[in-house]
A and B are shown apart, each in its own frame.
Chain A
Amino acid sequence: MATKKLVRVKVNGRDREAEIEPRLLLVHFIRDVLGLTGTHVGCDTTNCGACTVILDGRPVKSCTVFAIQAEGREIQTIEGVANNGQLHPLQEGFQEEHGLQCGFCTPGMILSAYALLEKNPHPTEEEIRWGISGNLCRCTGYQNIVKAVQYAANKMSEEKHAA
């Protein structure tokens, strides 16, 4: 049995810590140790992106990171997207534009889009499609997901100008 390690991570703004095996995957740390089940597991070959979380500002596939690698770093999961119960424009956009059906890919998809809009607030359709190309969806055919992201981009742009 390997030496357990203490991992201290900031998750959705809160400091969390636990003693874990080094081999514990970050997705299992998030789901099973922290009890945040919004991040999902959809494959076992790093393809589907359902496990996407934001690590130090960048979206990563949490099934392909060891939790111990997150020591001293910051993670944002889907549970940290809404602001005190106020939905983020992306979350609104997904509902407005019917960007989800079964909902399983949705957390990962929202986080990838979230990171995309941070880097590129006015993406073209092509840029959106490339930006979410690490997230598979079986239900929607992506068309309404693209519209959801465009909705959010427009809303965030309006809010910025209004501010």
Chain B
Amino acid sequence: MIPQSFEYCRPGTLPEAIALLEQHGDAAKILSGGQSLIPMMKVRLARPEYLIDINQIAGLQYIKEENGYLKIGGLTREADLETSDLVRSKYPIILDTASMIADPQVRNLATVGGNLAHGDPANDHPATMLALGAEIIAVGPRGERNIPVKDFFLSVFTTALEHGEILTEIRIPTPRAGSGGAYFKLERKVGDFATVGVAAQVTVDTAAICQEVGIGLTNVGATPLKANRAEDFLRGKRLDESNIKQAAQLAAEAAQPSSDLRGPAEYKVSMVKELTRRALTRARERAAAQPIR
């Protein structure tokens, strides 16, 4: 219940923060929302000697469209994603996702950057960002770089972020007309991590042929997973019930869940299939509501 002692720094700028991270190396951790880190510190699973609080750094909280992308600042709170008209109207898959993270109080502090950078396969945004083909912007000692999200998750609690790098922005290519997406999360109760979560984003043409598709899976592996074979199967095919079912089957085959208190692995695999079916079906409905003219 009580964290180990640490030194606290609150840099006012990104370069200051990066310098502190470099200076203290592995002994330092970034504090953004803190809603994953602080609980770990309270049970002393995380014992940083230096906590670098980046919440005062200006210019990291925004949700805007620019140059063909939805750009979300790394410090943007989940609650702000929930209430954003832009997200609700044009990127409802992100609203689906944000609104299922933990509970209202946690969402007031938790950041989308933290949700991704923490590297927990049980977090919800990773699957959605995989489905959306997002890009992660990281700023560190060697400057700024752009990491495609499919290369971002390496293993449990390990991302492509190097020490000293801070996730400053998530960029999502603005989907074309005829696109829709949805995130479905099966949880034991509100506030729980996903038993299984599936994000599906599709773009269909006027003949209902699937032009683009992204399917991300939550908490069924050591990292969030991209259901590549399911995506490959659907691309170029009609997004109808039969194909959705087959894609769902392929997505299930990509899942590598463990048996735990949320259920046996066999159940989770089946739930990937079920939720993929539901997510693709909802994505198709939403795509139909934003048709190509």
A–B contact at 8 Å CB threshold (below): yes
> Hey, which bits of chain A sit against chain B, CB under 8 A?
1-3, 5, 21-23, 25, 44-47, 49, 52, 55, 58-61, 63-66, 68-69, 71, 112, 115-116, 119, 130-134
Chain A residue at minimum C-beta to C-beta distance from B41: A23
Q: Which of B102-110, B149-157, B163-171, B207-215 forms part of the interface with chain A?
A: B102-110
Q: Would you call B39 and A46 a contact (CB within 8 A)? A: yes
Residues of chain A contacted by B58 (CB below 8 angstroms) = none
Q: A45-B39, A65-B34, A69-B55 are in contact. Are A23 and B6 (CB under 8 A)?
A: yes
Report yes or no: B53 in contact with A60, Cβ–Cβ below 8 A.
no
Show 5 A/B contacts (Cβ-Cβ < 8 Å), sorted by A.
A3-B8, A23-B41, A58-B108, A68-B8, A133-B190
- Of B35, B79, B108, most A-chain CB atoms within 10 Å: B108
User: Are the CB atoms of B109 and A60 closer together than 8 Å?
Assistant: yes
Question: For residue B53, which residues in chain A have a CB less than 8 angstroms away from its CB?
Answer: 68-69
* Neighbour of A61 across the interface among B7, B10, B105, CB < 8 A: B105
A134 touches B7 (CB 8 A): no
| Complexed CA–CA distance, A45 and B35 (Å) | 10
| Contacts A58-B108, A69-B55, A112-B105; A21 near B39 (Cβ below 8 A) | no
Among A5, A63, A116, A134, point to the contact of B191 (Cβ < 8 A): A134
In the bound complex, residues from chain A placing their C-beta under 8 Å from that of B2 are 23, 25
Report A137 CB to chain B, min CB distance, Å: 13
Q: Known: A69-B55, A133-B104. Contact between A64 and B6, CB under 8 A?
A: no
A59 and B55 within 8 A (CB)? no
| A34 CA / B204 CA spacing, docked (Å) | 59
Name the CB-closest residue of B to A4: B8
Q: How far is the CA of A49 from the CA of B105 in the complex (A)?
A: 8
Query: A9 CB to closest chain B CB, in angstroms?
Result: 15
Across the interface, do A64 and B8 meet the contact criterion of CB distance under 8 Å? Answer: no
CB contacts (< 8 Å) of A2 on chain B: these are 5-8
**Residue contact B42 to A131, C-beta cutoff 8 Å:** no
Q: Counting CB contacts under 8 A, is B38 at the interface?
A: yes
Contact B108 A22 (CB under 8 A): no
- Given A46-B35, A69-B55 in contact, is the A64-B7 Cβ separation under 8 Å? no
| Docked complex Cα distance between A112 and B106 (Å) | 12
Interface bits B175-211 vs A (CB < 8 Å: 1, else 0): 0000000000000001100000000000000000000
In the bound complex, what is the Cα–Cα distance between A23 and B8 (angstroms)?
Answer: 8
Whether the pair A112, B55 counts as a contact (CB closer than 8 A) is no
10 further A-B pairs in the complex, CB-CB below 8 A; given A2-B8, A46-B35: A22-B5, A23-B3, A45-B39, A46-B38, A46-B102, A46-B106, A49-B105, A64-B38, A64-B39, A69-B31
A19–B85 alpha-carbon span in the complex (Å): 42
Q: Is A23 a contact partner of B103 (Cβ separation < 8 A)?
A: no
Taking the nearest CB of chain A, how far is it from the CB of B93, in angstroms? 19
A133: B residues at CB distance < 8 A = 103-104, 190-191
B108 and A60 contact, CB distance less than 8 A: yes
How far in angstroms is the closest Cβ of chain B from A51? 9
Q: Are B104 and A59 in contact (CB under 8 A)?
A: yes
**Residue B1 lies at the interface, judged by CB distance under 8 Å to chain A:** yes
**Which residues in A have their C-beta under 8 angstroms from that of B259?**
none
Contacts A65-B34, A65-B38, A66-B38 hold; do A22 and B104 have CB atoms under 8 A apart?
no
Q: In whole angstroms, what is the CA distance A23 to B1 when docked?
A: 11
Distance of A115 Cα from B79 Cα, bound (Å): 13
Q: How far apart are A154's CB and chain B's nearest CB, in angstroms? A: 22
Q: Which residue of A lies closest to B83 (CB)?
A: A119
Q: How far is the CB of A19 from chain B (nearest CB, A)?
A: 13
The answer to whether B105 and A22 have CB atoms under 8 Å apart is no
- Does any Cβ of A come within 8 Å of B137's Cβ? no
The answer to whether B103 and A44 have CB atoms under 8 Å apart is: no
B17 to chain A, nearest CB (A): 15
Q: Which of B29-60 contact A (CB under 8 A)?
A: 31, 34-35, 38-39, 41-43, 51, 53, 55
Question: Smallest distance from the beta carbon of A57 to chain B beta carbons, Å?
Answer: 9
| A123: min CB distance to chain B, Å | 12
Please give me the residue from chain B that is nearest to A46 by CB atom: B39
Contact of B4 with A by CB under 8 A? yes
* Contact status B106-A134, CB under 8 Å: yes
In the complex, chain A residues whose CB is within 8 Å of the CB of B7:
2-3, 22
Query: For the complex, what is the distance from the CA of A134 to the CA of B190, rounded to whole Å?
Result: 8
